[in-house]
Amino acid sequence: MREIILDTETTGLDPATGDRIVEIGAVELLNHLPTGRTFHVYINPERNMPAEAEAVHGLSSAFLADKPVFAKIADDFLEFIADSVLIIHNASFDMAFINAELAFEKRSAIPAERIVDTLHLARQKHPGASNSLDALCRRYGIDNSKRTKHGALLDSELLAEVYLELIGGRQTALNLVTSAGRPAARSEIATSRVGQRPLPLPGRLTLQEKEAHALFVQGLGENALWLKAGL
């Protein structure tokens, strides 16, 4: 299964008001394992860079002036992503921009069915918590110290690690790769047996807690299931 972790940087928040993409970064996964293949390009947005946006990603109008416009990189971008599933954090934002750029070139939009939004996954797994990319990196112990500003390729690389944590796939991925970096044969995958403890774990209930529980059970009556089970 091929998946593409994707991120963009832009001139602002809304393509409908003239904002454009200025950077695309993408990382290839095969069966949840990074292959080392990436796609990265800076894009001339053909407009000025607002100071607020430059403060976020550090990309100035002067830096982007000699970079290709989206039309020049569209074929390479579409060839890289092909028909793979796209893994994006806050996908509605990035896809609005990507599909706007494709529409400018009279190309078909990428359908929503191909998108997995890691922000949605994170909110399901950690409801009520902060689920920004930085917060998820901290939660999962992923080193994001190089992320002094937003950058599409670095953010995609970080998101690849976060994504594996969100789907519970990091341990699976590690078990399916040998030290040589190739997929392991079934016979090479280590297994472990769960044995009985030589000594039982010590109890954690205090005397007061045990007495309170006994009083509670007595109050349930002689037909209480707790008494029949001997608890």
Exposure class string for 155-194: b at 16+ Cβ within 10 A, else e: bbbbbbbbbbbbeebbeeeeebeeeeeeeeeeeeeeeeee
133: tokens are 């990319």
Other Cβ atoms within 10 Å of 9 Cβ, number: 24
- The active-site residue out of 32, 40, 120, 150 is 150
**Short-list 76, 83, 80, CA closest to 115:** 83
Q: Where are the beta strands (DSSP E) in the chain?
A: 2-10, 21-30, 33-42, 85-88, 115-117
First-residue to last-residue Cα distance in the chain: 50
Residues 6+ apart with CB under 8 A from 129: 135, 139
126 is catalytic: no
Catalytic machinery residues: 150
